[in-house]
Amino acid sequence: MTVPGLSEGLDRIRRVRKRRRFLLAQQKGRRISGPMLVVYAYRRDPLEAGNLSRLGVTVSKKVGGSVSRNRVKRWLRESYRRMGPIVGIPIDFIVIAKPAASDAGYQALRAELSSLMRRSGI
């Protein structure tokens, strides 16, 4: 049952949306790789933009058609949302899906994302 007016999606404030933020995280962040995902973790300046962690997702055409790519993006955002906000540590997590992500299910992607975020050590 859903409550009217209550969104269950990942809030805009918890997303990385600008290209320069993606590039900064990829250039200066820590890279952790798994069989289905690559995660870049970049600790932001706390004075810069709040103290919440944020997620950015990139899924290329190598992963599959638009239906597969959008499914992977939805699964990754939902996995991150259910982990709860990381408050007090302003980190940008950039997630890049590998082609193997399209064949995996929600549970496998969620487990790998969680593992890679823990391994980031930030």
Does the residue 100 lie in any domain?
Answer: yes
Residue 6, pLDDT above cutoff 90: no
Q: What per-residue confidence (pLDDT) applies to 4?
A: 55
- Number of structural domains found in the chain: 1
Does the residue 115 lie in any domain?
Answer: yes
Does the residue 113 lie in any domain?
Answer: yes
Higher confidence at residue 3 or residue 86? Answer: 86
93 and 31 Cβ atoms separated by less than 8 Å: no
pLDDT in tens, 65-117: 999 999 999 999 999 999 876 767 889 999 999 999 999 999 999 999 999 99
Does the residue 97 lie in any domain?
Answer: yes
Does the residue 47 lie in any domain?
Answer: yes
Does the residue 3 lie in any domain?
Answer: no
pLDDT in tens, 9-18: 888 888 999 9
Strand pairing partners for 96?
Answer: 38, 58
Mean predicted confidence (pLDDT) in 52-64: 94
Biggest CA–CA distance in the chain, Å, is: 43
Half-sphere CA count of 59, side-chain side, radius 13 A:
21
User: Would the pTM count as exceeding 0.85?
Assistant: yes
Range of the domain at 113: 12-119
Which CATH number does the domain housing residue 78 bear?
3.30.230.10
Q: What per-residue confidence (pLDDT) applies to 1?
A: 46
- Calculate ∠ Cα 98-54-89, nearest 5°: 120
pLDDT in tens, 27-36: 999 999 999 9
Does the residue 111 lie in any domain?
Answer: yes
Does the residue 21 lie in any domain?
Answer: yes
